[in-house]
Every structure is written in structure tokens, then in C-alpha cells.
């Protein structure tokens, strides 16, 4: 099957029929254009060994490099077992191996997307993933961001209830610049919200949420905006070139898009006050 996410067209080949995540199917394409990358997905009894130097290690991932090609050993935080291997054969061909014991987890959004290292392809194409809820009101799209548990989904629901808004994605969006306009693009991971639409919209503003009894907020300075945005983006920190690309994208975005800080309760008044703040 062939897919398009942002400006990235790719093909996934597998020897057997597999259950892919429901949200991922929204990104299927019938375009005749040749794919940028072909992924070969294989279910195996034993994961292959990886050659090369280990250049980075976290509880859930090991990164290896050989001849300027990357490989990854993937696991889940808190579980010592490796579930998958990502191996670049060339820039256009990538092999992905999933251990058969984890086959029932293939339909999980985060496991599936991690297996293909899609964030790497996005950064290479001048796009970044931002952790946020995407809320559309009329022709305006607002990104509600902040750390996990801060209340992004709850606040987004208030906009749906009181402002007839639509949530495009409850957890993440892909950001890029097209024709001098910063865009929120569809992304196949949506967290526990289960709200995922493959729809693209210009970004009106970004709001970083906090919790407080009294609603209060302010527009952030350029430098503050950069710091807030960087804190919620996905970057391959072991790749210096990619880190530089992410910073360049965020710096340019912070100069063009209004970024706010807003501490609030989860009542109707929080929506009204935020509306006044961003329209001031």
C-alpha cells in the first residue's frame, strides 16, 4: 500500500496481510507518483543483529550507524524485550522487522509509526511534529499545547461545547510552511482522544496551557515562544543536522505565528477569556 503524510510518499510491502492502525489508513493514497521510500515489513521469530556503532541509547530505543545509514532497536519503556528493528538499506529502501510475539501490537498507533521512524522522514522534509490538540473554529485553527496531563483535550472539548469548534487531532500535528503560510497537517497518532482527521489548515495561533483557578494569559515573546515550542516537538537528538533543522523551523515559526501562555480552569469562562486574549 502507498501512503502520503505531508510531503512524504511511501510504500509498505509485506509478505502477509497485516492489521495496520485504523488512523493510519486515512493516509492511503492512489497517487501514481513514485514513492520516496519503500519499507519492507517482515514478521520474524528472531530479530536480526545490527552492525555499526551505537550512537545513542534511551530506555526505549538504541540507534546505530554504519556507512551513513541508520538502524534502530525498538522497545517499550519498562519492558526489557526488543519488539522491532528498523534498518536502512539505502535512503530509498528500509527494512522493518517485528517480533511475532508483538504482532497484536502492530495496530497500535505509536508502535506502528515508531517501527518506520516516520519522524525522521518529516524532519528531512522541513516538517516537525508538535504535541498538541488541533482545534478549528470557523476558518481559524488554534494549537493547544503543553506537557501530557495539562488538560489539552479537556480544554479542546470546551471549545467544541461552547464555540461549535471541531477537533482535528487530539494529540499531535505535523507542522510545515507552505507558500509562506504555516500549516497544521494530518498525523496518524492522536493519543487517547481517538480523534484523527487527515486534514490540513493554516495555523492561526499556538496556546500553551497551564492550570489555575483564575484564567490569565499573555502573548509570549519571540524567545519564549521558541522555548515553549521546542519543548513539545519531536526531534532526533542524536542527529546534529536534524536538531539544527528543527531549531530553524521553530525559530521561523515563532517569528510568524502568535504564541501564547494561558493558565486557566476548565469552565466556560476559560474559553471566553482565551478568545478575548488572542483577539486583543
* Domains of the chain, earliest start first: 2-116 (no CATH), 128-279 (3.40.50)
Arithmetic mean of pLDDT over the chain = 94
Tell me: pLDDT of 201 over 70: yes
CA distances for 20 relative to 3, 109, 114, 236, angstroms: 12, 9, 13, 25
Q: How many residues does the chain have?
A: 280
Q: What is the pLDDT of residues 114-173, one digit of tens each?
A: 999 999 999 999 999 999 999 999 888 999 999 888 889 999 999 999 999 999 999 999
Average pLDDT of 44-58? 95
Tell me: pLDDT of 280 over 70: no
Beta bridge partners of 11: 2, 38
DSSP 196: B
Tell me: pLDDT of 6 over 90: yes
Residue reference for cell 519522524? 119
Q: What is the pLDDT of residues 234-263, one digit of tens each?
A: 888 889 999 999 999 999 999 999 999 999
Percent above pLDDT 70 for the chain: 100
Cell of 267: 469552565
Amino acid at each position: 500500500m502507498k501512503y502520503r503524510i505531508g510531503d512524504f510518499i511511501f510504500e509498505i510491502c509485506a509478505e502477509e496481510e497485516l492489521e495496520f492502525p485504523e488512523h493510519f489508513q486515512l493516509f492511503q493514497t492512489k497517487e501514481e507518483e513514485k514513492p520516496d521510500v519503500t519499507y519492507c515489513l517482515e514478521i520474524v521469530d528472531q530479530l536480526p543483529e545490527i552492525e555499526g556503532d551505537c550512537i545513542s541509547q534511551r530506555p526505549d530505543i538504541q540507534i546505530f550507524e554504519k556507512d551513513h545509514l541508520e538502524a534502530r532497536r525498538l522497545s517499550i519503556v519498562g519492558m526489557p524485550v526488543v519488539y522491532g528493528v528498523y534498518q536502512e538499506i539505502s535512503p530509498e529502501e528500509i527494512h522493518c522487522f517485528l517480533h511475532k510475539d508483538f504482532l497484536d501490537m502492530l495496530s497500535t498507533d505509536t508502535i506502528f509509526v515508531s517501527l518506520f521512524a516516520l519522524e525522521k522522514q518529516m524532519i528531512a522534509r522541513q516538517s516537525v511534529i508538535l504535541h498538541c490538540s488541533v482545534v478549528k473554529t470557523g476558518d481559524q485553527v488554534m494549537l493547544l499545547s503543553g506537557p501530557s496531563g495539562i488538560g489539552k483535550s479537556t480544554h479542546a472539548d470546551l471549545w467544541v461545547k461552547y464555540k461549535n469548534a471541531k477537533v482535528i487531532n487530539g494529540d499531535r500535528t505535523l507542522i510545515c510552511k507552505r507558500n509562506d503560510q504555516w500549516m497544521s497537517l494530518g498525523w496518524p497518532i492522536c493519543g487517547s482522544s481517538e480523534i484523527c482527521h487527515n486534514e490540513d489548515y493554516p495555523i492561526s495561533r499556538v496556546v500553551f496551557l497551564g492550570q489555575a483557578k483564575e484564567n490569565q494569559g499573555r502573548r509570549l515573546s519571540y524567545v519564549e515562544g521558541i522555548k515553549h515550542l521546542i519543548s513539545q516537538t519531536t526531534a532526533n537528538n542524536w542527529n546534529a543536522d536534524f536538531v539544527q533543522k528543527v531549531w530553524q523551523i521553530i525559530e521561523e515559526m515563532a517569528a510568524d505565528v502568535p504564541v501564547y501562555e494561558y493558565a486557566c480552569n476548565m469552565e466556560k469562562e476559560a474559553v471566553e477569556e482565551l478568545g478575548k486574549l488572542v483577539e486583543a
